[in-house]
Homo-oligomer: A and B are copies of this chain.
Amino acid sequence: MDIQTSFLDLLFESGLLIDTGVDGLYGRSAQFEDVIAAFERLIDRFGGADGAEVIRFPSGMNRAFFETSGYMKSFPQLAGTVHSFCGNELDHMSLLKCMEVGEDWTKDQEATDIVLTPAACYPLYPTVAKRGPLPEGGALFDLQSYCFRHEPSKDPARQQLFRMREYVCMGTDKHVTDFRQSWMDRVAEMMKAVGLEVTIDVANDPFFGRAGKMLANNQRDQKLKFELLIPITSTAKPTACMSFNYHQDAFGAKWGLNLEDGSVAHTACVGFGLERIALALLHHHGLDTVDWPESVRKALWG
């Protein structure tokens, strides 16, 4: 049994996570949810004064927008499309027969207009583009949703359905890179308050295939992505619990996000992996929040 499995077992035994029979798909206890809620309030305290527009999208997005996003080029293996039965009563009878004899009944399911959201900010860009040019000072958004990534794993920090809290900034190059830097500074303070030792390092996305290697190298070379790393199940390979991404004008150009002077907007986003941060806290301070250090409890619950 590897170390990830043991931590997962501890989480199941303590009741913090609930086994559903599918790796990476778990129920959560009241205490687990309480940690996430407390950490989100901490984020609010650090980010609240920025006056971001709060939007909450559900865990699914418009398939047409998903297609435009190019996600299937870069991460086809992670996406989840939503399919439904669209037949008549006769089709229904054969579907039920199929299920009865244990054959694959899912092959006739048809794709709906909905795809599971891969990152909280994906539905945002086309939404903002529809509003017309961005205001002079740029725009800032506060998002949170369940996201889906098809990567079954026994590492509790790699879940198929998990929550991402995100701030997204749109504006000039300087505006959005300043935004990204300010969060890298804030987060150091934030994580100190909750007693976690963290590092921030340059990173790359898990682009698919051999061609993806080039994209990854390019992303690293240009320092477009940083990650906040916290040891959870391994100190040698700490877990990325946050990412700080500068998209240059790639999303602006793709979605038609313009500044008032007509130039293409730059964008950046800062994402908190809420389950991963909760797990880092539980791993570091213990599985019962009552026993956490007083300073950490105070930072989280006041």
Contact = CB atoms under 8 A, between A and B. Distances in A.
A45 interface: no
18 contacts: A19-B130, A20-B127, A22-B63, A25-B60, A25-B113, A25-B114, A28-B55, A30-B54, A60-B148, A72-B85, A76-B92, A77-B86, A81-B84, A82-B148, A83-B109, A89-B210, A89-B211, A107-B111
A150 interface: yes
Interface of A: 18-22, 25-30, 32-33, 53-65, 67, 72-73, 76-87, 89, 92, 95-96, 99, 104-107, 109-114, 116, 123, 126-127, 130, 146, 148, 150, 152, 160-162, 208-211
A28 to B, nearest CB: 5
B77 A18 contact: no
A88 to B, nearest CB: 8
Nearest to A111: B106
A179 to B, nearest CB: 20
A116 to B, nearest CB: 6
A291 to B, nearest CB: 20
Contacts of A82: 80-83, 116, 148, 150
A93 to B, nearest CB: 9
Given A22-B114, A25-B61, A78-B84, 19 more contacts: A20-B62, A20-B123, A21-B64, A27-B56, A27-B123, A30-B53, A60-B161, A77-B85, A80-B82, A80-B112, A81-B106, A81-B109, A82-B148, A82-B150, A83-B83, A89-B209, A112-B150, A114-B160, A146-B146
A54 B83 contact: no
B33 A67 contact: no
Contact of A56 (B33, B78, B112, B210): B33
Contacts of A116: 82
A73 to B, nearest CB: 6
B95 A62 contact: no
B77 A84 contact: yes
Contacts of A32: 56
A94 B30 CA distance: 45
Contacts of A57: 18, 20, 27-28
